[in-house]
Amino acid sequence: MSRTTIMGIIISVGILFFAVTMQTVSVMAFINPSGLAIVMGGTAAAALTSYSINDIIRVFKVFAIVMQKQSIQLGSYVSVMTKIAERVRIRGLLSLQNEVKGLPDPFLRDG
């Protein structure tokens, strides 16, 4: 997990705690278990209704990947995007349909 991810989580929890303590005497006055059950249960039910179970499982896998520290080689993205832009300028957007499928990076392939 990167430092910025950890900092973001700490700052967001800190701001939430600060806001709660500024408005109430007790933090427990802010917590509503039945409201939490309605929101979390409704969110889970809506997700299960809208998406397949494989998509929902994939969310947890992607979340685990996001939380890992990864180094991104921006130089390789720039060169590939430059080649793609030149091809689109010369041959048009439809010329990319077959070429994009062969890209190994899912960010470039799916984007």
Token couple for 52:
């397949």
- The answer to pTM > 0.85 is no
CB 1 within 8 A of CB 69: yes
Closest to 65 (Cα-Cα) out of 5, 109, 12:
5
Mean pLDDT along residues 34-49: 95
pLDDT given for residue 67 in this prediction: 80
Q: Where are the domains of the chain?
A: 3-67, 74-110
Return d(Cα 78, Cα 7) in angstroms, integer: 28
CB 26 within 8 A of CB 20: no
pLDDT given for residue 111 in this prediction: 72
Return d(Cα 105, Cα 100) in angstroms, integer: 10
